[in-house]
Chain A
């Protein structure tokens, strides 16, 4: 990372403990092989044995996508509040604080300008490590500002999604972020902007049912869980076992819902390629 004037997300994160348990070796949840952590991380957090794509945070995602040192964070001045004074077993205010301490992040999104193989773009990623990447007002506002900036600057837009959906603790206001982000994308579309939506494991609920599914091109990482309703909810509704691979990327590709499945190691070059075909 270059030392730009603004605080960078990687710096903030670096000081904090990684949410993945420490250890030189770990067992791949997919193939069961013991793999060397450093090797897995150097392989973009993909299992070198079976190609299982580990879940990654937003900072790591942006680092992987952007040309080295080109990512400039934006909209870092937005912080969540507790507008409804929401309290379940724990208050939302306490939950937010705990998540901020745990992750070193303010909320579940990172956004900014970057170059991808030399092509300028707005790059935005949700962060699964912060409250399951759920969309509340800050996530919705950041994404909307990202889209609006891409519209004004005439830049291609890349949003990487991974989320449990809309954030319950902001209730109706979270729901409205779906309309807000989608409306911003309508204007971006009117301006003939290119939006590449990248879906990663897992992308569900209100995030899928808004900006994530509105890409001009929709790309998914292999075997990512992508859907509107979660598998458990569907199972409870229909009361039968779900077919193997249901709601995974490959199933969505077959159903005609996404355009391409792209391995993480190819993502940068695929994005550059689509920008060359469709970008301004």
Chain B
């Protein structure tokens, strides 16, 4: 338990939560010991929180004390997660215990039938594709996968897909269109893979073609950024009728570190924080800009604290969207999808005549 705790609490800002949980644990241990008539001496191994307070509480008051600690814990967790800085949000989005595409498939879907390979070069494990059932809907699931074990992470290039990944995604999506199956894509990538082979095999072309073709697929497409939405690598599977972000996901044109390295000339804690803020990459910001249509709430304290509950919330949103888009004709879908992206952008527009007059 304590071993998993140390890897679970890797975020600085979660320290108050960890301290409270340890206090509760210690109080419960003392209560248990008191009721068994034994006495606890010393501090349990691994605990670093200040537990003197607990020792001062008389055994009779312990149950009440535990209750108040628990109330304080949920309040603290809620407050911390309601007020995450953009850079801390990025950290939560990258949390090693945060559910990934394969986890969500397991939680949300029945009868997942994985389909591999792009039929041209290979099978990129960084993008998972396959048929699945969500609620009463048959869908094609497409999602970035980062990998859980070291071995899996390396095979998946930490969620950075190669051209064959994007081509696999498109091939399966075009098949889904053929059979009238709606598409659900789960976005979770730091960005498309920057490497020799990726460039040689046309990384840019693969993404560009996905953007063009997804815009005219005559089947419903629903996208959710479940963790990291890193630039073109994310957008490459996110041209959809409805786009949402999970509450603690990020979505932007570049990672905060990449942006800091270029515009602040150096990437460190301070510049990353500033870049994350400047990029307006949180779910709330992207909702405000019209880049996403909805924010899918996460359980209090983030999806990593309760993956099953996160999956329930995600599933509910996907099912509701599938219901809304069901029965809309293919032509209407692509016309609306076009308008959805067509209107994005911010610029000043003067009348052509005014420009001409100024020139005279």
Contacts and interface: CB of A to CB of B under 8 A. Distances in A.
Interface of A: 5-8, 11, 76-81, 83-84, 86-89, 137-138, 140-141, 144, 166-168, 170-180, 182-187, 189-190, 205-206, 208-214, 227-229, 233-234, 237-238, 242-243, 246-247, 251, 255-257
Interface in B228-251: 231-232, 235-236, 239, 251
Nearest to A187: B338
B128 interface: no
Given A81-B346, A88-B263, A89-B263, A171 B252 contact: yes
Contacts of B358: 7
B277 to A, nearest CB: 9
A214 B211 CA distance: 10
Contacts of B337: 183
Interface stretch (B23-31, B37-45, B68-76, B190-198): B190-198
Contacts of B254: 166, 168, 171
Interface stretch (B109-117, B140-148, B348-356): B348-356
Contacts of B356: 5-7
A168 B263 contact: yes
A180 B344 contact: yes
Contacts of B253: 166-168, 170-172, 174-175, 206
Nearest to B279: A171
Interface residues of B, number: 65
A91 to B, nearest CB: 10
B259 interface: yes
A247 B199 contact: yes
Contacts of A137: 345-347
B263 A178 contact: no
A208 B291 CA distance: 21
B187 to A, nearest CB: 12
A234 B289 CA distance: 31
Closest 5 CB pairs of A and B: A7-B359, A229-B194, A137-B345, A183-B215, A182-B211
Given A6-B356, A88-B278, A178-B235, A213 B195 contact: no
Given A171-B280, A173-B291, A234-B199, A138 B347 contact: yes
Interface stretch (B57-65, B178-186, B201-209): B201-209
A34 B47 CA distance: 72
B262 interface: yes
Contacts of B251: 172
Contacts of A6: 352, 355-356, 359
A242 B197 CA distance: 12
A213 B239 contact: no
Given A6-B359, A172-B289, A234-B199, A183 B212 contact: yes
B346 A183 contact: no
A209 B279 contact: no
B346 A144 contact: no
A141 B347 contact: yes
